[in-house]
Amino acid sequence: MNLFQQLYKSIYSPKDIVTFRFQGIGKTIRYVFLLVLISILPTTVQFITFSSSSLQFVKESLENDIPSFSIENGSLTSEENQPLTVEKDDMIIIFDSTGKIEEGDLELEGNTIAFLENQLVVINDGNRQTNSYSAFSQFSVTDEMIIDVIDSILSLKWILLPAALLILYLFASGLMFLKVSIFAMIGVLIANLIKRNMKYRQSFRVAAYSATVSTLFFTLMKVLQTSIAAAPLLDWFVMTVIMYLVIKEIPRPKSNA
């Protein structure tokens, strides 16, 4: 049975998952890497789209729509006395050197880049990242310098993007292997509680395939851009339930009586 057949079986069949506990560890590791690849696909698409089209939009806006400015002593300054908003498709750029707009006033939905008086705020599909201008307190940054940096990034994007995505994949893989390792210990505990024989190495294999349903579900939610309340708790609950159902399929040890 290849990895994709195992993926399909792992969605609905605890009886099949329990048979995977005897397979080689190499195949299980490859399966975990496959799950990680699936899980980061929505993020990868968003990242590529955001880093390409959005950077080009920011560059064009800085050149044509936003007045000249500088960042000095941790503060954005310009001759503009009113906040400006530039919109294109699903991307919004907000420029406010007056201090009238604060971080809390920004909508979390959609994609927004906000040049505020004391900080740069980037919002990408509900994820907000705030960067204070205090990091530039020792020197001055102008709009021309930012345009030059964007030009450099765009010219090197086919080198920078694969490197960034590789780092993302390795980081996500590390987290997935950590989760599977933790649930392998939980699986051994469950096996002891319901009187089933299962060693840690077998539990590791079971945990890897038990992660399938929650991984696919949360990947689909990312595609649909739907947020789930208490997502980590739901993820761990679903995985625990599936592991319990899988371990129940292990035959009870025969009594010596």
Question: In angstroms, rounded to a whole number, what is the distance separating the alpha carbons of residues 55 and 51?
Answer: 6
**Are the C-beta atoms of 92 and 113 separated by less than 8 Å?**
yes
CA-wise closest residue to 189 among 240, 257, 138 = 240
Question: In angstroms, rounded to a whole number, what is the distance separating the alpha carbons of residues 27 and 112?
Answer: 42
Question: In angstroms, rounded to a whole number, what is the distance separating the alpha carbons of residues 226 and 221?
Answer: 5
Give the pTM: 0.77
Tell me the two tokens of residue 112: 């927004």
Question: In angstroms, rounded to a whole number, what is the distance separating the alpha carbons of residues 253 and 251?
Answer: 6
- Whose tokens are 């908003």? That residue is 85
pLDDT of residue 160: 86
**Are the C-beta atoms of 191 and 247 separated by less than 8 Å?**
yes
Q: For helices 157-193 and 25-49, what crossing angle results, to 10°?
A: 140
Pairing type for strands 111-115 and 91-95 reads parallel
pLDDT of residue 137: 67
Give the type of residue at 239.
Answer: M
142 backbone dihedrals φ, ψ, rounded to 5°: -115, 170
Give the type of residue at 224.
Answer: L
Q: Mark the ranges of the chain whose per-residue pLDDT is less than 70.
A: 108-109, 125-126, 137, 255-257
pLDDT of residue 88: 80
